[in-house]
């Protein structure tokens, strides 16, 4: 079983160890290693929150900018023909390429485009 929990913009991938009867997880999408665990869901969530809070406090203490899971930007390389088709589709929907692609991706991911 794998689930995702979120706190302060960070996501943690949670797994369950049936042998040890324990939940454990790791913060996703950052290179710093942040792990957490708990026997109950409440313990797991509390440990995840504590790990994130400690990470943010530690970064502040040492003057390091904490890693952010996502910047909201990514670059996609594609064939020019596809780029042209996307531009035409966006324009026909009275949107910029960025707004149109964001909407399409959000719909595909089942998320809000905000």
Domain ranges within the chain, ordered by starting residue = 2-62, 80-109
Instruction: Sheet with 10-17: list strands edge to edge.
Output: 2-7, 10-17, 22-27, 35-38
What are 68-105's pLDDT values in tens digits?
877 777 889 999 999 999 999 999 999 999 999 999 99
CATH class of 2-62: alpha beta
What are 54-76's pLDDT values in tens digits?
999 999 999 999 998 777 778 89
Rg over CA atoms, the chain:
19
- pTM for the whole structure: 0.64
Residue matched to tokens 């064939």? 79
């Amino acid at each position: 079983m794998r689930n995702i929990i979120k706190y302060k913009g960070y996501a943690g991938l949670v797994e369950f160890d049936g042998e040890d009867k324990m939940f454990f997880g790791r913060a996703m999408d950052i290179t710093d290693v942040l792990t957490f665990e708990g026997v109950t869901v409440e313990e797991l969530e509390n440990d995840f929150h504590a790990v994130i809070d400690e990470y943010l406090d530690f970064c502040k203490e040492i003057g390091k900018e904490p890693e952010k899971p996502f910047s909201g930007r990514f670059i996609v390389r594609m064939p020019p023909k596809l780029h042209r088709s996307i531009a035409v589709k966006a324009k026909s929907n009275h949107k910029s390429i960025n707004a149109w692609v964001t909407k399409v991706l959000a719909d595909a991911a089942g998320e809000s485009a905000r």
